[in-house]
Chains A and B, each alone.
Chain A
Amino acid sequence: MRSSVGEEVHINKVAMIKAILILIIVFTFLMQSIICIGQGSDISGAGYNLSRYPKGDKINEDNNSYAERQGPRESLRIWVGNPRVYAEESSIQYWWQKFNFSIEMKNQNLGEARVIVTLFTDTQAHPWRKVASQEVSLNQELKHVYFEDAPFDILDANQFFRYRFVYSESDQLGRNFVEIDAIDPIDSRIINYNMISMQGLINFISILVTALFIGIYIERRFHR
Chain B
Amino acid sequence: MRGEISLFFIAFLLLGLALVMHKIHFYKLYSNISCLIDFKFSRKELIKVYRRPQGSNFCSLAIVSWSLLFICIASLFFLTPEIFGFGFLNLVFIASNYLNLWIFSLLVLISTALIYHNISMMYSLYHIPNIYKVIIFYIVPPLLIISLFISLYLGTVYPSINYLYWSVSYIFMLIGEILLLLPIYTGAGDMLR
Contacts and interface: CB of A to CB of B under 8 A. Distances in A.
B96 A17 contact: no
A158 to B, nearest CB: 8
Contact of B92 (A50, A158, A219): A50
Chain A at the B interface: mostly helix, strand, loop or mixed? helix
Contacts of A20: 109-110, 113
Interface stretch (B10-18, B152-160, B181-189): B152-160
B121 interface: yes
Interface stretch (A79-87, A168-176, A188-196): A188-196
A204 B101 contact: yes
A195 B56 contact: no
Chain B at the A interface: mostly helix, strand, loop or mixed? helix
Interface residues of A, number: 52
Nearest to A219: B60
Interface residues of B, number: 47
Interface in B93-140: 93, 95-102, 105-106, 109-110, 113-114, 116-117, 120-121
A59 interface: no
Most chain-A CB neighbours within 10 Å: which of B45, B63, B105, B114?
A: B63
Contact of A202 (B99, B105, B148): B99
Given A5-B48, A218-B120, A219-B56, A211 B96 contact: no
Nearest to A9: B44
Contact of A206 (B95, B102, B113): B102
Interface of A: 1-2, 5-6, 9, 13, 16-17, 20-21, 24, 28, 31-32, 35, 45-47, 49-50, 153-155, 158, 188-195, 199-200, 202-204, 206-208, 210-212, 214-216, 218-220, 222-224
